[in-house]
Chains A and B, each alone.
Chain A
Amino acid sequence: MQLPHFKYHAPRSINTLNALIEKMKGQAIIMAGGTELIPRMKMRLIQPENLISILKIKELEHIKIKKDKKIEIGATVRIDNLVNFFKENRPFNAIFQAANMVGSQQIRNMATIGGNILQNTRCKYYNRTLQWQNIMPPCHKRGGNICYAVKNSKRCFAVYQGDMAAPLIVLNGKGEFLFDKNFIQKPLEDIFTGNGAMPFNVGKGVLIKFILPQPEDGLISTYKKYRIRDGMDFPIAGVAVAIKIKNKKIDDIKICLIGVSSAPVVIKDIKDFISEKKLTDKLIHEISEIVYNQAHPVENTDGDINKRRYMIKQMTFEAIKELIDGYDK
């Protein structure tokens, strides 16, 4: 399978990047590690005339801890670097866990955090070669008006499977985007549309970096991933949990699911539910049940949907239990 023809650009600074984007009037596609984009190009799901690689822009490839203890992660920091950076980092353990399970070692060496967050939604009826697609009339995501995964659906349910989004969201990460020479920060959970066909609302903006707030005392986090094999596979269900413990009680909790919807699912009403309650297994079961009720996977990726939903409950329970049991140690 060969790539379609395209022009390749590799600017070395944000200024030249800006100039290029302007010149191409928004017709260019940004490429980072290429591990997600290149397969889509080979499948002719996207055929950009111009490809701008941002890997040569040095400013984008650093992780920095700022004076105010905020952490800044450049958009092209490799997933493998995140694994090393966040190893044995209790508050940010979720980032380590998620990064460590992205694809395979080869993928992690190439893949960037920016590309991971901005990876397209996936579907077993969509991520296919042109020859395969020719067999079936186009669905919503390919400009048609049917859906194969959810019969009679008026919209696309392609699933968002970026592992890294879940931990960054529960840790209240923000993304800094470059829109027409302006740098704009947005909480990560706000960049998703929830529409499988057009998953992001950041348009042609270039992701520059992520900003993680200073970890508060008592912050602990983890990430659980369900996949069929021990490696290679995308999350077919994923749960990130961040908890703030204060006086042996959960002071704050944020849970985000991945792989069960067209966008990360931030669990609603959970903080109020636990307020002032005693931390028992029963409570964790109840939390897991709430989470379960907000997960609605559809049949468009690996595995059985009931099992994926079940695993959300199971992993939520395990994640919270592990965090709390581990806290005192």
Chain B
Amino acid sequence: MIGRRIPRIDGPIKATGEAKYTTDIYLPDMLVAKMLRSPLPHAKILNIDISKAKKIPGVKAIITGRDAWDIRHGFIETPRYPADQYCLANDRVRYIGEEIACVAAVDEDTAYEAIDAIKVTYEELPAVFDIFEAIKPDAPDIHEFRLPDLIEPFKNVGGRCANSFGDMEAAFKKAYLIREDRFETQLRTHCYLEPQATVAYYDVNGKLNVWTSSMGVFRKRMHLSKILHMPLSKIRIHKSWVGGAFGGKIDLFSHEFCTSLLSIKTGKPVKYVAERDEIFSYFRHGQPMVIDLKTLVAKDGTILGQIVRCYNNCGAYRGSGVVCIFLCWGFIILPYRIPTLDYIGYSIYTNNPVRAPQKGHGAPQVRFAVESQLDIIAEELGIDPIEIRLKNARQKGDILPNGDTIKNAGLIECIEEIEKKTDFRKKYSKNLKEVKQYKNNTRFRRGIGIGVSSYFTGTLIYPHNSAAIIKFNDDGTVQCYTGALDIGQGAETILAQIIAEELSIDIKDIEIIAGDTDNTPVDIGSWISGLTYVTGNAVKKASEDARKQLLSSAAIYLNVHMDSLDMRDRIIFVKDNPERSITFSKVLENHIRDHKGDPIIGKGFFRGLKDAEHGPSLKNAKGAWSDSYAFDAQVAEVEVDMHTGKIKVIKATTAHDCGFPINPLLVEGQIDGQVSMAAGQALSEEIIMEKGITLNPSFLEYKLPIATEMVENDYIDIITEEYKKGHHFHTKEVGEGYVSGILAAIANAVYNATGVRAKRLPIRIINNLS
């Protein structure tokens, strides 16, 4: 079962429309919630008058900041980075679209009528949208907050992460070439097809039942409990299927709080579904970044040191910006050996909507910069892109500056294999030569480019761990209880495969009961690229536990030592004499009879970074970060129409060291998705904003690639890990790492085709058309 290309077990219910998403949940007497949002990017709220709105027939409750206690929330809540955002604006709004009031009414029209009837008096304040304007001494203060250790004369710094090591002076002395560039990445969004949606129902027993489109039910429950002043035990997050998230649904959102509070106030179920233009305009997108990158190299291309400054526009509240600037450090030190580093990342407040993680969370930004610059350097030194990467690639046994060990690294093999498979060197130098000889008369030009990336596999952040329970039906079929939430990546399929492998049963004999805070054990969630590793190991251990119990019980009934037994298809048999056997069903029946009713329940749990107390420091990047790191090399082949500037990614090849692929089909599915996302980021996607207003808030205008523009993919497996019975496995992530190398590869391929070096995304070659 492990390593097999099993189709998704949730396929049929999704293909037939049977799967219930949050938007599909209808409860009797359910009310509709709509949100009043700030029309101003920065203002004091002087008064909110809801008296007229309250009187509209059909309006059941209206809440404003006054109903929301004085509690703030944040993606990160630490002494250094205290929570900075109210669920409903209190006395001030800091971006267009910030939530001010929420109405529950009998239908949508009535809710909107009430929204229109609420009168808010504002005192407008000066606003700032650009990061370099926002740090100036005369910029308006978006928050009172000051970082205690900030040494720069910058305003509006929401977070700072600094880390340096090595002898920079010596590196400068040794350097043969010093290259300095600025790279900029655009504001992009997740484009989950299922909109943000929540149904909340506060029942007569005082329990708050919540269905919400999320990435992890236990994290949502923790946030809601804090912000609602309710014990965890009084909140139940139910499972509903999730139609994509890509990082955009992990934070707490205002509507989750508001539907809950409105249900508490009215005693009725309350549903909120975000409009698509609300999502595009006011919800959390990814993190646009400016990266100043200075790289010092020796004559042979060995990197001697890097000086990096990342400026992240985190929007009006901290969001995940401070995590992103820590991660950017990580993506600088990961795939290549960097002996000397001077890194500072700033997360800067502006009067824009707040930002969230988005697939890669810093990696696409950093890899685009580093891989582009590496190609520039290679060309200046007269060495090829493959050689410079091989020279600097991390290898097994490397110790990262924070102390983490690279236990297994297939990067060198990834680069070597991809070179062979794509005939990279030959194509690259041929194209480069041709570009230099062109007299602007070849219309369609081909280019090839490479990018390298590495990604971590889970870290410690609440809820830190996963647990799982395996129980049996009388017929020996299995139910697994896990808090994991399948958000479309195939979590349930992977977990079922692990159980099937451990218990040697058919996948059809397994039912996964998942993602419910009351009915399933704790789970880390579908984020930080840790689910298969952390939850997968918990499920593996639970299965092992169940297997062991079954075998030891069967050994008694078959009168042999348990080591001589094996199992298949719900039958336990003697290895040397398979005729001597007993069914799971019979073992269970006997076991219950002979063990005071014990039905055999397997229990398993797992937490990564077993020696670490907590995750790494966001201030200085010190401390353990992850147990293992995935590596990849990716090659893009593009065709550029020099008459129209149209760039097409013809083919993408990914050589990946994802540890051990539990299901190669799903690994490829993840790669396909990430390659198409990278193509969108490279070529067409951008949220266009003007003074805090989004000008393309629809799928018509936000240029997500369409079906006919999907890229043809090829894959190379570099397998560095093993799946062994009796040991926890060290698979690596596949959910986020493959969006970055290919992004850089596309930019490098465009250069190879045209001689135009993109320093800003999306890539435009308008000024160089023939």
Contact = CB atoms under 8 A, between A and B. Distances in A.
Interface of A: 1-2, 104, 124-125, 128-132, 134-136, 226, 228-234, 302, 304, 306-307, 310-311, 314, 318
B693 A136 contact: yes
A233 B700 contact: yes
A229 B643 contact: no
Contact of B108 (A2, A104, A307, A311): A2
Contacts of A318: 643
Given A131-B37, A131-B278, A314 B644 contact: yes
Contacts of A304: 764, 766
Contacts of B703: 228-229, 233, 302
A134 B39 contact: yes
Interface residues of B, number: 29
B701 A307 contact: no
Given A124-B696, A304-B764, A314-B643, 13 more contacts: A131-B277, A132-B277, A132-B281, A134-B39, A136-B693, A226-B644, A230-B706, A233-B700, A304-B766, A306-B766, A307-B645, A310-B769, A314-B644
Contact of B109 (A2, A124, A125, A302): A2
Contact of B275 (A1, A136, A230): A1
Contact of A124 (B277, B644, B699, B701): B701
A302 B684 CA distance: 11
Contact of A128 (B277, B644, B769): B277
B697 A128 contact: yes
A233 B699 CA distance: 10
A90 to B, nearest CB: 24
Contacts of A228: 684, 703
A91 B258 CA distance: 61
B275 A129 contact: yes
Given A131-B37, A229-B706, A124 B96 contact: no
A51 B281 CA distance: 31
10 contacts: A104-B706, A124-B695, A124-B701, A129-B277, A226-B644, A230-B709, A232-B706, A302-B696, A304-B766, A318-B643
Nearest to A228: B703
A311 B472 CA distance: 66
Contacts of A232: 699-700, 706
B616 interface: no
Contacts of B437: none
Interface string B732-770: 000000000000000000000000000000001010010
A125 B323 CA distance: 35
Majority secondary structure of chain B interface residues (helix, strand, loop or mixed) = loop
B705 interface: yes
Residue from A2, A130, A131, A231 whose CB has the most chain B CB atoms within 10 Å: A131
Interface string B677-705: 00000001000000001011101110101
B577 interface: no
Contacts of A302: 696, 701, 703
Interface string B703-736: 1011011000000000000000000000000000
B708 A230 contact: yes
A140 to B, nearest CB: 18
Residue from B109, B706, B709 whose CB has the most chain A CB atoms within 10 Å: B706
Interface string B188-212: 0000000000000000000000000
Nearest to A135: B39
Contacts of B764: 304
Enumerate the 10 nearest inter-chain pairs by beta-carbon distance, A residue then B residue, closest first: A135-B39, A228-B703, A124-B695, A230-B708, A307-B766, A129-B277, A231-B706, A229-B706, A2-B108, A314-B643
B275 A131 contact: yes
Nearest to A317: B643
B96 A135 contact: yes
Contacts of B275: 1, 129, 131
A230 B649 CA distance: 13
B283 to A, nearest CB: 13
B700 to A, nearest CB: 7
Contacts of B277: 128-129, 131-132
